[in-house]
Amino acid sequence: MAQVARSMEKLISADAKDIQPPAAASVVGVSKFFGKTSVLQNISFDVAEGEALVLLGASGSGKTTILRIIAGLEQPYTGKIMIHGKDVTELPARERGVGVIFQSYALFPKMTVEKNIGYGLRIRKRKRKEIKKTVEELLSLVQLEEHRKKYPSQLSGGQQQRVAIARTLAYDPEVLLFDEPFGALDAQTRTRLRREIRDLLKKVNVPAIFITHDQEEALELGDRIAVINVGNIEQIGTPAEVYNNPATEYVATFLGAANILEGVVRKDYVEFGGAKIAARIDSEKFTEGQPVKLIFRPEDVALSMTQELPSGHSCFAGAIVEETSFVGAYERLRLRLDPAGGNSCDTGDTPYYLTTETPESQTAKPIIATRPKPETMAVKLRRGDRVFIGLTSFTLLPKDLRPMAGTETSR
């Protein structure tokens, strides 16, 4: 019996292999200790061919450590690294064919731009002609033709970075690893280089892993984003998925601003004085009376002086405007749930509601909302105004249950 089961398993896994080509690079169940402190806990993710994956996390979350383990500069405690389906965990850095763009670029100071770019080919003992040709192509690819004879110290940060990229592209790396590539640059240059690198990567079609703690950078650079929190991947998905459907509270707050309210799931329950929102709730994940967290973005809040909200908004609660401020492209409002205002939103006949558990404590928590300029012009709001709040979209997470389990998004 057991034998049959095993051969069946084999069959199935062989099938799966046929269907899915191996990822460009995979991290499989990697954990890492420095001394007795655990820095990474059972990390797994894949990078597909031509994909740009961003590892996003706070300082000290273990991003650089993951990168160094992939590159072979650090050994994992458990788990393995696969590159194009080949287990490279035991291979030294120089045999992995990975391109690392270090945070400080790590250009060789005593070599010119040309020499830096040709280094990988020279140590591979390629023919001089071939090296010259490749260097020439790369110089034009990264637009550094006129700087070829300069030394790294004579280049700007952005130029140094391009040399660092060209230096790795010279030997056709299997995957590119960028450690905070824009950390040392000013905001304007960052944005420009980000686009440049993105275009460049699409052109050369090499899969890449970026490290950053800048959410804007992550959203713009990544085909997918992995959010890392103290050595764990909290969520991995496309920028839209991660932003719109955060799997955990950490993801919601780390990636963009988020309002978080605590509430309870109720059925056929109307409570005057407490805020409530209609939600299609997956009864497998949430039960009546279960404490939950309601997470929504400032831009998902719709405001109305009357109960009438634009279609597609779930009416949520009455609130009082506490403060308005103009922040460039939009207006930012601080609101507080109206303790006396009641909730007369028409909840229709949705079977489940979310109500705030303890109105007193929740009303103490401000809600941040933003409104686009045209709307600010049409309906002027001032401190003290009573409004109704509706939500375009929000996320429900079970309270105190971490991570991933039982997430539910409602629209």
Ligand X SMILES: Nc1ncnc2c1ncn2[C@@H]1O[C@H](COP(=O)(O)OP(=O)(O)OP(=O)(O)O)[C@@H](O)[C@H]1O
Residues near another protein (CB under 8 A) are: 71-73, 92-100, 102-104, 106, 108-111, 119-120, 122-124, 151-154, 167-168, 171
- Quote the crossing angle between the two packed helices 157-169 and 113-122, to the nearest 10°: 20
Six-digit token pair at 1? 């019996």
Rounded distance between C-alpha atoms, residue 255 and residue 225, angstroms: 10
- Give residues with Cβ within 8 angstroms of 235, minimum separation 6: 226, 227, 242, 246, 247, 248, 251, 403, 404
If the CB atoms of residues 116 and 248 are measured against another protein, the closer one turns out to be 116
Helix %, strand %, coil % of the chain (to 5): 30, 30, 40
Which ranges in 205-301 belong to alpha helices (H)? 215-221, 239-244, 249-254
If one asks whether residue 59 binds ligand X (CB under 6 A), the answer comes out as yes
The nearest distance, CB 81 to another protein, in angstroms, is 13
Residue with tokens 């929190």: 229
* Options 24, 26, 62, 363; binder of ligand X; rule CB under 6 A: 62
If one asks whether residue 30 binds ligand X (CB under 6 A), the answer comes out as no
The nearest distance, CB 82 to another protein, in angstroms, is 17
If the CB atoms of residues 162 and 213 are measured against ligand X, the closer one turns out to be 213
Q: Which does 61 bind (CB under 5 to 8 A by kind): ligand X, Mg ion, another protein, none?
A: ligand X
Of 370, 394, 379, 376, the residue nearest 275 (C-alpha): 394
If one asks whether residue 239 binds ligand X (CB under 6 A), the answer comes out as no
Which of the residues 181 through 220 are near ligand X (CB under 6 A)? 213
Q: Which does 25 bind (CB under 5 to 8 A by kind): Mg ion, another protein, ligand X, none?
A: none
The nearest distance, CB 264 to ligand X, in angstroms, is 36
If the CB atoms of residues 151 and 269 are measured against another protein, the closer one turns out to be 151
* Options 61, 160, 232, 259; binder of ligand X; rule CB under 6 A: 61
Q: Which does 8 bind (CB under 5 to 8 A by kind): ligand X, another protein, Mg ion, none?
A: none
Q: Which does 72 bind (CB under 5 to 8 A by kind): another protein, ligand X, Mg ion, none?
A: another protein
If the CB atoms of residues 110 and 129 are measured against another protein, the closer one turns out to be 110
Sign for the pseudo-dihedral over CA of 259, 390, 274, 276:
negative
Rounded distance between C-alpha atoms, residue 226 and residue 247, angstroms: 11
The nearest distance, CB 210 to ligand X, in angstroms, is 12
If the CB atoms of residues 56 and 200 are measured against ligand X, the closer one turns out to be 56
If the CB atoms of residues 96 and 194 are measured against another protein, the closer one turns out to be 96
The nearest distance, CB 66 to ligand X, in angstroms, is 7
* Options 26, 65, 363, 370; binder of ligand X; rule CB under 6 A: 65
Q: Which residues pair with 212 in a beta bridge?
A: 56
Contact positions vs Mg ion (CB under 5 A) = 64
The nearest distance, CB 125 to another protein, in angstroms, is 10
The nearest distance, CB 163 to another protein, in angstroms, is 12
If the CB atoms of residues 45 and 210 are measured against Mg ion, the closer one turns out to be 210
- Give residues with Cβ within 8 angstroms of 390, minimum separation 6: 301, 302, 303, 304, 309, 310, 313, 314, 315, 316
The helix/strand/coil state of 124 is coil
Closest chain position to ligand X (CB): 64
Q: Measured in whole angstroms, how far is the alpha carbon of residue 264 from the centre of its chain?
A: 29
Of 296, 333, 329, the residue nearest 313 (C-alpha): 296
If the CB atoms of residues 99 and 181 are measured against another protein, the closer one turns out to be 99
The helix/strand/coil state of 14 is helix
The nearest distance, CB 180 to ligand X, in angstroms, is 6
Residue with tokens 């997918």: 224
The nearest distance, CB 359 to Mg ion, in angstroms, is 44
Of 127, 121, 111, 133, the residue nearest 172 (C-alpha): 121
If the CB atoms of residues 213 and 224 are measured against ligand X, the closer one turns out to be 213
Question: φ and ψ at 260, to 5 degrees?
Answer: -125, 120
Label residue 172 left, alpha or beta by phi (over 0 means left) and psi (-120 to 50 means alpha). left
Residues near ligand X, by CB under 6 A: 34, 39, 57, 59-65, 213
